[in-house]
Amino acid sequence: MANSDSKQDQIEHGPMDQFSAHLDRGWDLLHQGDLAGALLSAEKSLELDAQSPEAYNLLGFVRAAQGEAAEALEHYRHALALDDSFVEAMLNAAEVLIHPMHDFDAAQGLVRDALDLAEDDDEVADALLISFDAHMHQGDRQAAAVVAGKLPGGPFSNPKLDFLVGRAYFEVERLDQAQQLFERALKRDHDNPDLHYYLGLLWEAREKPERAVLAFVQARKLDALEPDPPWTVTDELFDKQVRKALSSLPDSFAAAVDGAMVITSDLPGVELVADGVDPRAALVLDAIDQRATEPKVGRVFVYKRNIQRAVEDALELPEQLGELLQQELAAAFPVLGGDVPPPLAHA
């Protein structure tokens, strides 16, 4: 880079130690869910070195986590303008382009650039997984399966890649390879709730219900320890938004839940999970009157943490609550028919 000499001077005199400390602290705070603190560290890093691609990459990651996709992409592009071989910034930008921007062609272009520069299996896997996700978002499972066939098998330096590659195999029904990667991931990434959730799905697919339940119970336990997203709403406001969404349903759906008891909670109870309820279900319909001539629900349980997982920010929450309610009612009562929104692509 053009400013390498000045950087060497800074290293000798101390400011670059401060730069590295702010950068490292920014990533640590980001992983702890402290986005405000991470943002401050990223900005401090830029004050010390305004030409640092690493600082712009961190700043982009923080903005993406805050739901500021356009600003995040701008920072990633600034990082790449300073270092056009910065694979991490390429892939971070590609992820933002996939979701929420849905610019799949641009994302795949960055993936191809990253693959040309990839130096090890970790970088190859990271790039191919983003390409895989782009195809899955577009509903092209055949293209996704082709990409999955190119994924390296590891071992990987990043312990999370065993799970992520295994998940891709699972999504295209390569169950033996998925199981091998999941079992390897358990040794290095045991507290990953997504890993246990997908193990539950794997055991369901292999018709091993007891193992599936144990994996789902562990996933629920770990999900309960995860921090809320930074945009989370209060429990009181969430409850109000749920009731408003129920009252705003189309007539046929609204009639099914009219008069129902509405209960909001963080997650399904462990007893429900043991009885077969998906630990990441957005809601559960209960006390269904089988004798009624029309569909009728007695209780509606709505799970805040699971809904938050499917939503990008607080502004999306009211609309997507209504969509999720319609999807669940339509699944329970096909007779209701109607124009039901498709499932959320990022749920």
Rg of the chain, C-alpha, whole Å: 23
Mean pLDDT of the chain: 89
Q: What is the pairing mode between strands 297-303 and 261-265? A: parallel
Cβ–Cβ < 8 Å for 212, 197: no
Burial zone of 116 (CB within 10 Å; 0-12 exposed, 13-18 middle, 19+ buried): exposed
**101-110, 271-280, 329-338: the lowest-pLDDT one:** 329-338
- How confident is the model over 48-62, as pLDDT tens digits? 999 999 999 999 999
Domain with CATH 3.30.2010.20 in the chain: 235-336
Angle, CA of 269, 275 and 277, to the nearest 5°: 65
Q: Token pair of 44, please?
A: 């401090």
- Is the previous residue joined to 343 through a cis bond, with omega within 30 degrees of 0? no
For every residue of 3-24, DSSP letters joined together read THHHHHHHHHHSHHHHHHHHHH
CATH for 235-336, among 3.60.10.10, 3.30.565.10, 3.30.2010.20, 3.40.50.970? 3.30.2010.20
Q: Which residue has the higher pLDDT, 14 or 100?
A: 100
Q: Tokens 């990667």 — which residue?
A: 181
- How confident is the model over 220-256, as pLDDT tens digits? 999 999 988 878 889 999 999 999 998 889 888 888 8
Sign (positive/negative) of CA torsion 125, 131, 132, 137? positive
CA distance 27 to 173: 35
Domain with CATH 1.25.40.10 in the chain: 153-226
CA distance 300 to 243: 10
CATH number at 153-226: 1.25.40.10
**Residue 95 confidence (pLDDT) above 90:** yes
Predicted TM-score of the model (pTM) = 0.82
Q: Cα(first)–Cα(last) distance of the chain, in Å?
A: 41
| Percentage of the chain exceeding pLDDT 70 | 91
